Structure 1
């Protein structure tokens, strides 16, 4: 661990690409709970790979434009003396180096973080995103008290754990059937938030494909968390 403020700042800066990778990956895919050791390894490994690629790009730029790039050989030989005389140039190149590394890490996360393996995803993720990505299917939920709520899925918790401590947001057209009632009635509201803890059974109706055939039959899936 660094023992000075400068060393701490340098460590944080060097790990920024890996942190960028983790943040973008979690935003794009199903959020997974990993051990601190594994998460640290992902951050460090992602930073190292992104920075090695950026070093390769800098090496090409150095070979093609030796007069416009910092002299790494002199920086190693002269140390702080060369850095003091060329601090503006070195600062700009260091900032560019960090920016390119973070962009590389973000692009890698965009390419690899969208489709987790079904074994590492929740039932909600599989039904709402994995089977028909980008769609907002109609969802019907039977609740613990026997009531029924139906609406178009707008947002859901992307955690890989089938936990009861999460919510599902449905938007209009909304329908509701009270416990013991025979028919569902339309609601004048724009959205509804339903706790997974109250859901007993969930029905999902997928959109129709371009050929007019049902892209997926009405799917019934029991939420393990609610059960």
Structure 2
């Protein structure tokens, strides 16, 4: 039980944190220390909350002195009481670890404020791939890709690789929707054509020569003529 109490909150923290950061290769020692540190911190936080509840509210709580002095006899005498508080403490520790990993306060910081700019520039050495495709996570992204054969394809961002290393094995996928259609322009052509009857495409990073990202605040119906250029008209912010 002690082993699970130490590892489970840290494991949940790492799993949730992986959704918001580039994928990195870490040594087993570093990953284990991270899980243990978060687990101990989460359990300590849960212990403080439960201790304050015991001391301030008229609740039926375990006798910690008796539990530590004769744990086997106390658990046999009051199994449900010990189980209820142990499960409650574990749930509280896991919720705390998940909340810290989600970092909702980052979404509350506006990009034009000082704190928002500090957060944005906290790690400028991150992959440009990651920074461009993760920027303005609340806005739809229209991505244009110039390929090495001279063709061009564009559409709304669907997914992209989280690998932080600048390698050619990464890929991204674009999907079609009415406001951000999938379009394609062959090599040497002047006209951009919509890809009809196609829901999504995957593009390897090794084939991309130039990548453009347009962040749009409001969807606007697009026509084949309006997407001849890689950047859409009237973007809110473009990089």
Number of equivalenced pairs: 207
Unaligned runs of 5+ in 2: 107-118, 219-232
Residue in structure 2 matching 1:204, options 213, 216, 224: 213
- Please say if 1:63 is aligned against 2:55: yes
Q: Which moved more, 1:42-51 or 1:9-18?
A: 9-18
Deviation sequence 1:16-46 (CA, Å, 0-9, x none): 1111111111123333332222211211110
Report the CA distance shift for 1:190/1:213 in structure 2 as closer, same or farther (over 3 A).
closer
Report the CA distance shift for 1:82/1:65 in structure 2 as closer, same or farther (over 3 A).
farther
**CA–CA distance in structure 2, aligned partners of residues 148 and 113 of structure 1:** 38
Contact 2:5/2:39 (8 A) holds in 1: no
Q: TM-score, normalised by structure 1?
A: 0.81
For residue 170 of structure 2, what is the aligned residue in structure 1?
166
Map 1:24-103 onto structure 2 (within 5 A).
Answer: 24-65=16-57, 68-103=60-95
Contact 2:139/2:217 (8 A) holds in 1: no
Contact 1:120/1:160 (8 A) holds in 2: no
Deviation sequence 1:106-165 (CA, Å, 0-9, x none): 0111117966844353212211223x2222221111112221111111211223222322
Deviation sequence 1:48-88 (CA, Å, 0-9, x none): 11111111111112213465111001111222111111111
Q: Which moved more, 1:100-109 or 1:38-47?
A: 38-47
Contact 1:70/1:90 (8 A) holds in 2: yes
**CA–CA distance in structure 2, aligned partners of residues 186 and 65 of structure 1:** 65
**CA–CA distance in structure 1, aligned partners of residues 19 and 61 of structure 2:** 36
Unaligned runs of 5+ in 1: 1-8, 220-227
**CA–CA distance in structure 2, aligned partners of residues 163 and 36 of structure 1:** 23
Contact 1:121/1:161 (8 A) holds in 2: no
**CA–CA distance in structure 2, aligned partners of residues 13 and 76 of structure 1:** 17
**CA–CA distance in structure 1, aligned partners of residues 10 and 63 of structure 2:** 27
For residue 175 of structure 1, what is the aligned residue in structure 2?
183
Q: Which moved more, 1:192-201 or 1:106-115?
A: 106-115
**CA–CA distance in structure 1, aligned partners of residues 33 and 105 of structure 2:** 16
